[in-house]
Structure 1
Amino acid sequence: MRIVLINPYNPRFETKTFPPIGLMYLSSYLKRSFPDIEVSLIDARLNRTSCSEVARVVAAIKPDVVGITAVVDNREVVHQLAAQVRSLTKWVVVGGPYATSMRQVILQDRNIDYLVLGEGEIPLSKLVRNLQNEAVQEPVDRVMSRNFPAGEVNLLADTVSALDDLPFPDFGLVRVADYFRFSSAMGTHAFRQTWPVASSRGCPYSCAFCHSHFGHKHRTRSVLRFVDEIELLHRSHGVFHFDIFDDIFNISEARVLDFCNELERRKLRIRFSFPNGLRLDRMTARSIDRMAECGLFAFGAPIESASERIRKKMNKGLNMAKAEQIVRHAAMRNVVVSGFFIFGYPTETQGEAQATIDLACKLPFTLASFQKATPFPGTQMFDELPPEKKSELMSFLSTAGPFTYSDSPNVSGMSDHALRKCYARAYLKFYLRPKVVFRLLYLLGPALVLRLGGVVLRRITTLRSSTRFTQCKEAWTR
Structure 2
Amino acid sequence: MQAHCKTKPAPRVLLVEANNMGKWVGTTMPYEVHIPPLGLMYLASYARKALPGVEFRIFESSLSSPDLSSLENDSPENDRFIRILNEFQPDVVGIRSIAFFLEELQRIASLVRAHSDATLVAGGPIVQAYKRRLFQEVPELEIAVKGEGEKVFVDLLSGSPLSSIAGLLYRTDDGVVENEDQLEVEDIDSLPFPTYDLIDLNQYQSQLSYAYNHRRQGVLLTSRGCAYHCTFCFTHWKGIRLRSAANIFEEIKQLHEQHGIEDFYVVDDIFNVNSKRALKLFDLIVAAGLKLRLYFVNGLRADITSEEFVDRAIEAGAVWFTYAVESGTDEIQRLVEKRLDLEKAKRVIAYTQRQNVAVNVSTMYGFPTETRELAQRTLDWLSELPKPSLLPYHFCLRFFPGCEINQQALDAGWDPARLELTSRFSYNDMPLGTPTLSKQDMYGIQLEYHRRFGLSNPAAVDGAVRTLRSIGYSDTEIVHMYSVLKRKVIHNVGDLMTAGGN
Partners of 2:282 and 2:79 lie apart in 1 by 46
Aligned: 1:41 with 2:58: yes
Task: Tell me the equivalent position of 1:100.
Answer: 128
Partners of 1:379 and 1:434 lie apart in 2 by 37
Cα RMSD over matched residues?
2.5
Q: Could you tell me which of 219, 222, 241 is aligned with 1:199?
A: 222
- The SS at the match of 1:35 is coil
1:126 is matched by which residue type in structure 2? D
Partners of 1:196 and 1:185 lie apart in 2 by 10
Whether the aligned pair in 2 keeps the contact of 1:180 and 1:192 (CA below 8 Å) is yes
- The SS at the match of 1:171 is coil
Aligned: 1:440 with 2:467: no
Please state how far the C-alpha of 1:86 moved relative to its aligned partner. Answer: 1.3
Overall identity of the aligned pairs, in %: 27
Whether the aligned pair in 1 keeps the contact of 2:14 and 2:57 (CA below 8 Å) is yes
Please state how far the C-alpha of 1:193 moved relative to its aligned partner. Answer: 2.9
Task: Tell me the equivalent position of 1:224.
Answer: 246
Structure 1 or 2: larger helix share?
1
Where do 1:47-58 residues align within 5 Å? 47-48=64-65, 50-58=77-85
2:61 is matched by which residue type in structure 1? A
Where do 1:386-397 residues align within 5 Å? 386=410, 389=414, 391-393=416-418, 396=421
Task: Tell me the equivalent position of 1:31.
Answer: 48
Q: Can you list the C-alpha shifts for 1:230-265, whole angstroms capped at 9, x where unaligned?
A: 111112212111101112211122111101110012
Partners of 2:330 and 2:410 lie apart in 1 by 22
Can you give the 5+ residue segments of structure 2 that lack an aligned partner in the other structure? 1-9, 66-75, 470-474, 489-502
| Aligned length, in residue pairs | 447
Task: Tell me the equivalent position of 1:8.
Answer: 18
Whether the aligned pair in 2 keeps the contact of 1:26 and 1:121 (CA below 8 Å) is yes
Task: Tell me the equivalent position of 1:429.
Answer: 452
Please state how far the C-alpha of 1:56 moved relative to its aligned partner. Answer: 2.7
2:398 is matched by which residue type in structure 1? T
Where do 1:91-130 residues align within 5 Å? 91-108=119-136, 109-129=138-158
Whether the aligned pair in 2 keeps the contact of 1:205 and 1:216 (CA below 8 Å) is no
Q: Could you tell me which of 263, 282, 301 is aligned with 2:304?
A: 282
Please state how far the C-alpha of 1:394 moved relative to its aligned partner. Answer: 6.7
Check 1:329–1:153 CA distance in 2 against 1; reply closer, same or farther (3 A cut). farther
Partners of 1:395 and 1:151 lie apart in 2 by 24
Check 1:412–1:115 CA distance in 2 against 1; reply closer, same or farther (3 A cut). farther
Partners of 1:272 and 1:146 lie apart in 2 by 44
Task: Tell me the equivalent position of 2:279.
Answer: 257
Partners of 2:431 and 2:466 lie apart in 1 by 37
Check 1:137–1:72 CA distance in 2 against 1; reply closer, same or farther (3 A cut). closer
Deviates more, 1:356-365 or 1:284-293: 356-365
TM-score, normalised via structure 2 length? 0.83
Partners of 1:409 and 1:103 lie apart in 2 by 27
Where do 1:118-197 residues align within 5 Å? 118-129=147-158, 132-133=159-160, 136-138=161-163, 140-147=165-172, 149=176, 157-186=182-211, 188-189=212-213, 192-197=215-220
Whether the aligned pair in 1 keeps the contact of 2:230 and 2:338 (CA below 8 Å) is yes
Q: Could you tell me which of 339, 346, 351 is aligned with 1:324?
A: 346
Please state how far the C-alpha of 1:198 moved relative to its aligned partner. Answer: 1.4
Partners of 2:329 and 2:191 lie apart in 1 by 41
1:95 is matched by which residue type in structure 2? G
Please state how far the C-alpha of 1:192 moved relative to its aligned partner. Answer: 2.1
Please state how far the C-alpha of 1:90 moved relative to its aligned partner. Answer: 3.4
Please state how far the C-alpha of 1:346 moved relative to its aligned partner. Answer: 0.6
Q: Could you tell me which of 12, 20, 35 is aligned with 2:37?
A: 20
Can you give the 5+ residue segments of structure 1 that lack an aligned partner in the other structure? 460-478
Check 1:139–1:110 CA distance in 2 against 1; reply closer, same or farther (3 A cut). farther
Please state how far the C-alpha of 1:35 moved relative to its aligned partner. Answer: 1.8
Partners of 2:442 and 2:349 lie apart in 1 by 27
2:311 is matched by which residue type in structure 1? D
Please state how far the C-alpha of 1:278 moved relative to its aligned partner. Answer: 0.6
Whether the aligned pair in 1 keeps the contact of 2:16 and 2:94 (CA below 8 Å) is yes
1:345 is matched by which residue type in structure 2? F
Task: Tell me the equivalent position of 1:469.
Answer: none
- The SS at the match of 1:107 is helix
Whether the aligned pair in 1 keeps the contact of 2:168 and 2:178 (CA below 8 Å) is no
1:419 is matched by which residue type in structure 2? M
Task: Tell me the equivalent position of 1:348.
Answer: 370
Task: Tell me the equivalent position of 2:267.
Answer: 245
Aligned: 1:75 with 2:92: no
Partners of 1:366 and 1:123 lie apart in 2 by 41
Partners of 1:397 and 1:151 lie apart in 2 by 28
- The SS at the match of 1:17 is coil
